[in-house]
């Protein structure tokens, strides 16, 4: 069953998400440029989250082999999700996805954004635009009376119409008291199917969109997920709450 949140819960979940919103809007754009390493970006994220009285939610999450070792997931180009920050230096023309979870007073925020590094080509520009727009379309379908399949169907239709593919092995989810809660929110599917959307639900809507195939591989580290064909991927995520029958975005900067 989905965990239905009170208005007070939603207020606290929004506070956790606003830290990420400020990070993505006011802090990271100053640093994400050619020449910075993903390790340096992770340090910036870690320091900022802690400066706001929160803690990074990704550190220590159990994995296949080892717990996740960093404050945030940083995935570059063909890396789809769960990239481990390291010494990789960002190059002009790269795209980099930052997926961050915060814990503030026991409540979780969760949001992701893909950034252009320097000057990116037209294909990458279109990929970012389509992925971000597909997130908006998914959120617009998150209304009382719809089902989760309506969200996934709308995202899939838009993405495929634009010549890209939607990742199927990873999905959105409930969020708030934990990082991952029921229900799963796939980014593909059939309208009219799935769990009914209810007042008080808090969901992470997060399309992951690939230039080529939707099929994936995992690197030997047990965390970093990459496209099977080596083509690029983008990831945009918002945490939303269903209030008065429709979605309000918690991870968008006030």
- Look up residue 85 and give its two tokens: 């920050």
End-to-end CA distance of the chain: 30
Q: Residue 77: which residues within 8 A CB-CB, separation 6 or more?
A: 94, 95, 96, 232, 233
Distance between CA 196 and CA 206 in Å, rounded? 18
Q: Consult the annotation and say whether 177 binds a ligand.
A: no
Q: Residue 235, annotated ligand binder?
A: no
180 annotated to bind ligand: yes
Alpha carbons within 13 A on the beta-carbon side of 19:
28
Q: By the 8 A CB rule, do 12 and 107 touch?
A: yes
Residue of 175, 139, 169, 176 lying closest to 154 (CA atoms):
139
Residues annotated within the binding site for a divalent metal cation are 99, 110, 173, 206, 237
Residues annotated within the binding site are 82, 99, 110, 173, 180, 206, 237
Residues annotated within the binding site for substrate are 82, 180
């Amino acid at each position: 069953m989905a965990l239905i949140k009170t208005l007070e819960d939603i207020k606290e979940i929004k506070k956790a998400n606003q830290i990420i919103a400020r990070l993505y809007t006011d802090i990271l754009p100053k640093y994400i440029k050619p020449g910075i390493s993903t390790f340096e970006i992770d340090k910036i994220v870690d320091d900022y989250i802690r400066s706001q009285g929160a803690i990074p939610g990704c550190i220590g999450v159990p994995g296949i082999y080892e717990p996740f070792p960093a404050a945030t997931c940083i995935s570059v180009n063909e890396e789809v999700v769960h990239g481990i920050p390291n010494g990789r230096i960002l190059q002009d023309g790269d795209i980099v996805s930052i997926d961050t979870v915060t814990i503030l007073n026991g409540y979780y925020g969760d949001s992701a954004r893909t950034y252009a590094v320097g000057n990116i080509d037209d294909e990458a520009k279109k990929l970012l635009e389509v992925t971000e727009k597909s997130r908006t379309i998914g959120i617009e379908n998150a209304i009382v009376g719809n089902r989760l399949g309506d969200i996934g169907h709308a995202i899939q239709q838009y993405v495929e119409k634009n010549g890209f593919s939607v990742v199927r092995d990873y999905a959105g989810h409930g969020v708030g008291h934990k990082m991952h809660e029921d229900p799963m929110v796939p980014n593909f599917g059939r309208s009219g199917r799935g769990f009914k959307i209810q007042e008080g639900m808090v969901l992470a809507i997060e399309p992951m969109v690939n230039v080529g195939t939707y099929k994936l591989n995992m690197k030997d580290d047990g965390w970093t997920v990459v496209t099977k064909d080596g083509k690029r991927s983008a990831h945009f995520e918002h945490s939303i709450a269903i209030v008065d029958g429709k979605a309000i975005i918690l991870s968008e900067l006030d």
